[in-house]
Copies of this chain bind each other. A is one copy, B any other.
């Protein structure tokens, strides 16, 4: 995609407070604990500072180890945080005994991930008992300016009655 002279428009507000209700009163602790067990997130340096019902944010500070050949953050890493932010948004709405799996996602890269910080904002579009449709946008923050760099649409599946193990299996 040619990137100079582009005109990125993100007209829609993804998240509105109190739009979703959590079933699990401890959803925030549960989601944060699961995120903490994802060693791949530690490897790239991602954190999850925002966890609300139907919404999460993953933040990723720039570091040279996560770049592609031009020094921008690797598109695959952008996909990782978009996928995870959207998937954990789904997880905030399930019961404590439910596990979520990514069935599939589609990612459009809109602009290079060029900035000191990436922010992936994941949100639930449609909550169903078995399938949850989610979205995520990824923004690059450079010198105080926030530019959309990726847009994701995702399908999540709930597996009921399973509990995430406290230790890896």
A contact set with B: CB distance below 8 Å: 1-3, 5-16, 19-20, 34-35, 37-44, 54, 64-71, 73-77, 79-81, 83-84, 101-111, 123-131, 133, 148, 151, 153, 155, 157, 159, 164-165, 168-169
Contact = CB atoms under 8 A, between A and B. Distances in A.
A67 B40 contact: yes
Contacts of A3: 128
B80 A11 contact: no
Contacts of A64: 39
A126 B68 contact: no
Given A1-B157, A2-B159, A105-B106, A126 B76 contact: no
Given A70-B169, A126-B110, A40 B16 contact: no
Contacts of A71: 168-169
Nearest to A106: B106
B126 A69 contact: no
A19 B13 contact: no
Contacts of A5: 128-129
A169 B71 CA distance: 6
Contacts of A169: 70-71
